[in-house]
């Protein structure tokens, strides 16, 4: 069937203007970045996937193009291993007839992808080297010796497939090795592209792992390192792996990722699972963003309030939203907390959830047992807007110039580690607070 590059479900629920997805009660949500991106490339993706041999082939001609050096090699990612390292190693092993290995324990996101696609967890590099101490090694997703598992002997490294900058500590070798480094958003994009250029169809499980890895490393195609190739490969892999709802897969994966919050940047948390809803009434016309982070330990997130609030303001400004909420949901205790980054959010939250308590700095609302964006949050916000809510007179930090909100910097050795530097909101020194202007005398309102 045609999976529309992963956008079949977005098409099925398309709203009147095609840039939206229609929910119950006539609620319209804008298509997410990943939905928009795959639908824009569905034709190319369909053609690419269709052109591949239907059977997983072993035609000798394919071997002509496969580098001799990588035959029977062990493909292994970096320490503190992530989904791009593991998915990429599994993909490379399938492509080059080698073996995948783990440099370290897998994280919750990688465990999700392996289970989702029914792929066996690779053995550790230590186990592989115990069996075969002189195995040929191909490093994937890194080339710095500081990120290499110490069990690897640099003399046995025969290749590098990576997408990171060449900085200090790049591996030095005595003889030429196979190198494939491309400035793309994910190492798994390189492997996917090579499958296509070699006219080789990845098995469904491998295609699924590569797909999840690209979504992970590019923050669902929203990260600053995302390229055209990443977008096209996501659409093509969705076709091959039979994915109809790319947004659902991305959301499920982010839920798995946010089980381990320590590794997530504020930018990653605010953008990981954010949806945007469009409203048009006599009193309000605009888009409201709603991000959700599900966790077993909400205290960890709430401790990072002073880092998260300025990030929400910056993101709201970047996307030209009228309001942007972040709900932190504790999935064990089933309770929700809403972060409020400005007067509009405070005012709309009070209108939508009139009985919920707000903290002293007006930056946090206790949502009690409300935990679902679809069932508990958006219907209430929709009701409040339809009942005549309008933006307050007083404006918070989101009226300042974008430049004052800092700029994103990407760690050259870890593209998922994105920090916003130089934000005015961060410079306040004291804790982030929001003015409550619901106490303003009505008659003096403009």
Residue 45: phi and psi, rounded to 5, are: -65, -45
**Which one has a higher pLDDT value, 115 or 296?**
115
Is the pLDDT reported for residue 428 higher than 60?
no
CA 69/CA 336 separation, integer angstroms: 53
Is 92 in contact with 139 (CB distance < 8 Å)? Answer: no
Q: Which two tokens stand for residue 265?
A: 């940047």
**Which range (162-176, 323-337, 351-365, 406-420) has the least confidence?**
406-420
Is the pLDDT reported for residue 305 higher than 70?
yes
Mind giving me the DSSP string for 348-413? HHHHHSTTS-B-TTS-EEEEET---IIIIIHHHHHHHHHTT----SS--GGGS-GGGEEEEEEETT
pTM of the model: 0.80
Mean pLDDT on 82-97: 96
Pairing label, strands 285-295, 274-280: antiparallel
CA 344/CA 306 separation, integer angstroms: 18
**Which range (191-195, 269-273, 373-377, 413-417) has the least confidence?**
413-417
Mean pLDDT on 225-232: 95
Angle 393-395-397 (CA atoms, 0-180°, nearest 5)? 180
Give the DSSP letter of residue 23: -
From the number of C-beta atoms within 10 Å of its C-beta (0-12, 13-18, 19+), residue 360 rates as: exposed
Is 296 in contact with 39 (CB distance < 8 Å)? Answer: no
For residue 211, what are the contacts with CB-CB under 8 A and spacing of at least 6? 234, 237, 238, 241, 243, 249
Mean pLDDT on 10-28: 71
Q: Which two tokens stand for residue 153?
A: 């002997």
CA 206/CA 64 separation, integer angstroms: 22
Q: Which two tokens stand for residue 338?
A: 């809403």
Angle 270-272-273 (CA atoms, 0-180°, nearest 5)? 95
CA 192 vs CA 51, 103, 129, 137: distances in Å: 14, 21, 27, 20
CA 423/CA 101 separation, integer angstroms: 41
Average pLDDT, the chain: 87
- Angle in degrees, 0-180, between the axes of helices 246-257 and 204-217, rounded to the nearest 10: 70
């Amino acid at each position: 069937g045609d999976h529309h590059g992963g956008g079949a479900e977005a098409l099925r629920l398309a709203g009147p203007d095609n840039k939206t997805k229609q929910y119950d009660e006539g609620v319209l949500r804008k298509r997410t970045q990943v939905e928009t991106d795959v639908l824009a490339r569905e034709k190319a993706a369909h053609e690419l996937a269709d052109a591949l041999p239907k059977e997983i082939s072993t035609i000798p001609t394919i071997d002509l193009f496969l580098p001799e050096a990588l035959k029977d090699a062990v493909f292994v990612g970096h320490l503190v291993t992530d989904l791009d390292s593991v998915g990429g190693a599994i993909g490379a092993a399938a492509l080059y007839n080698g073996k995948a290995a783990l440099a370290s324990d897998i994280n919750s996101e990688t465990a999700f992808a392996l289970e989702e696609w029914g792929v066996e967890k690779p053995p550790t590099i230590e186990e592989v080297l115990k069996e075969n101490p002189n195995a040929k090694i191909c490093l994937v997703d890194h080339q710095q010796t500081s990120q290499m598992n110490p069990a690897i002997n640099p003399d046995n490294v025969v290749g590098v497939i990576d997408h990171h900058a060449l900085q200090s500590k790049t591996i030095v070798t005595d003889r030429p090795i196979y190198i494939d480094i491309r400035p793309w958003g994910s190492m798994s994009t390189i492997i996917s592209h090579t499958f296509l250029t070699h006219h080789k169809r990845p098995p469904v499980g491998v295609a699924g792992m590569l797909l999840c890895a690209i979504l992970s490393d590019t923050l669902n195609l929203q990260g600053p390192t995302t390229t055209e190739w990443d977008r096209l490969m996501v659409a093509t892999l969705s076709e091959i792996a039979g994915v109809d709802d790319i947004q659902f897969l991305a959301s499920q994966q982010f839920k798995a990722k946010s089980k381990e919050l320590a590794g997530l940047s504020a930018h990653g948390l605010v953008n990981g699972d954010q949806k945007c809803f469009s409203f048009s009434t006599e009193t309000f016309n605009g888009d409201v963003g709603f991000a959700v982070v599900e966790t077993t330990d909400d205290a960890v997130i709430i401790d990072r309030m002073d880092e998260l609030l300025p990030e929400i303001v910056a993101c709201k400004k970047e996307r030209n939203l009228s309001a942007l909420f972040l709900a932190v949901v504790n999935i064990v205790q089933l309770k929700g907390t809403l972060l409020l980054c400005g007067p509009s959010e405070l005012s709309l939250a009070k209108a939508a959830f009139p009985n919920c308590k707000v903290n002293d700095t007006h930056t946090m609302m206790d949502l009690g047992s409300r935990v679902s964006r679809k069932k508990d949050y958006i219907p209430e916000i929709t009701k409040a807007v339809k009942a005549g809510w309008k933006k307050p007179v007083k404006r918070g930090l989101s009226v300042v110039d974008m430049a004052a909100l800092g700029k994103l910097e990407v760690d050259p050795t870890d593209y998922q580690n994105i920090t916003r530097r130089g934000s005015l909101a961060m410079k306040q020194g004291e804790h982030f607070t929001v003015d409550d202007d619901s106490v303003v005398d009505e008659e003096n309102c403009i």
